[in-house]
Chain A
Amino acid sequence: MYSINDGRESSKDRPHNAEGGGSVSPNGAGLQQALERLQQENTRLRQQLELVKKEQTEYLQNVSHQLVAPLNAIKWHIENLTAGRLNEDRIRKVLRSIYSQSTLAVHLAKNFALMSNLEADHALSALREPLETIDLCRLMVNLADDFQPLGWDRGLSITVADYPLKSAPPVLAIKPLISQVFSNVLENAVKYSEKGSEILISGGHNSQEQTVSVSVSNRGIPLPVPETNRVFDRGYRSPEARNLYPAGTGFGMYIARRIVEIHEGTIEAKNDKSGRVTFTVTLSVSKLEGKTRKRGAKDSTNRR
């Protein structure tokens, strides 16, 4: 996969080299060579731009497909409700379904908005939003509540193991971003879990490293072996995932990784012997102190 950053970095370096070549040998041959190099570079960049454009178009189509699905379900549910086609018991279930379909749509829309911001943040390795102290246990309980209805149909349960996560200190991070990391991980867990299985959220504090880890583990299709880390690649979806759920952008885990990297944390994915898949996010308690730009401070993006 090509990332937008590849283009940025090389466009900064290469024309500079080419210029240098031209000024050292001002004769015709040197200029000719420099010109050829520039032309090659130009062709290469143009091809890369085409790829990025194609990727973006595909991404947009993919997102719109995925948004239409839950929205259409909501529309049809409401049609059933207003047309009086449902009995009381069914009405309750349908309202619940509308709720979880909306959760999905909102979740997807958030990822969509994050995509563009993240690329910018990463290039600057700067944090544009204010840091907050976050109680990860509480965050996970809230997210579990949010995603639980999506798992009801397939008999999935989401359990948050309070201890020892509850006693972990809060971490310093950008809340909406970190919340999206875990909702992406949870959404995956719900989507790819076996019927009737349990999704387990646990975590704890490493006092030596001054970090807090949260793991989300589920039983379902395994990660690609041996390169489990490919799930964090931009646009990557394993063949099994593709077959089980043809619609998907392959951006969820990529977004999660980028956000965690901005926070100087780590995210890992593992298959274990008992057939469970575990994603573990580790964040520092205080590493980012003083690193955020204050609200209203001059935006350093202007320098570029």
Chain B
Amino acid sequence: MQKTVLIVDDEQGMIEALEDGLVSEGYRVLKAVTAEEALQILKAEHVHLATVDIMLPQGASLEPRIDSHKTGMLLCKTIRQNYPRVDVFCLSVISDYDTISAVQGMGVRFFKKGETPLRTVLDIIRSRLTGIAYSEERDAKRWDR
């Protein structure tokens, strides 16, 4: 069965690159630019995995208003609580240790943009969705090829 991945990010270039990678691996890709859009999609669609940016626009009518630097964190929390079957992980440029450890504390894996190759992200997504273990060694070999 085709699995569905939801990308929640507000940077066009990032969304495109990640989408290209995911599509090439055979996933159905949905995209949300704001936390509000993400919640609407989660309500309407059967999503298997979501990647969430930390600094995110909240969306026009989502209440209460919160600091945009925390939107993604709150979204992760909401997904964890309301959609426990959706696998979720963070992809962000933030380097603030408190935020990162708060996210990890929810059991959400954190990847830093700029430091994680797309291949790694794709492999980890695959291992999460198929249950086949991810091997960094195999990853390294791929680069040697």
Contacts and interface: CB of A to CB of B under 8 A. Distances in A.
Contacts of A243: 57-58, 65, 68
A192 to B, nearest CB: 12
A97 B93 contact: no
Does more than half of chain B's interface fall in helix, strand or loop, or is it mixed? loop
A244 B55 CA distance: 11
Q: Describe A's contact surface by its main secondary structure.
A: helix
B11 A69 contact: yes
Interface residues of B, number: 27
A85 B14 CA distance: 16
A110 interface: no
B109 interface: no
Nearest to B25: A85
Interface string A75-98: 111011001011000100010010
Nearest to B65: A243
Interface in B41-82: 55-58, 65, 68-69, 71
A77 B16 contact: yes
B21 interface: yes
Interface residues of A, number: 29
Nearest to A153: B12
A154 B58 CA distance: 19
Kindly name the residue among A61, A72, A74, A90 whose own CB sees the greatest number of chain B CB atoms within 10 A: A72
Contact of B93 (A69, A101, A153, A244): A69
Nearest to B117: A79
B55 A77 contact: no
Interface in A42-73: 61, 65, 68-73
B74 to A, nearest CB: 13
Contact of B13 (A79, A85, A97): A97
A247 interface: yes
B10 interface: yes
Nearest to B17: A76
Interface string B4-33: 000000111110111011001000000000
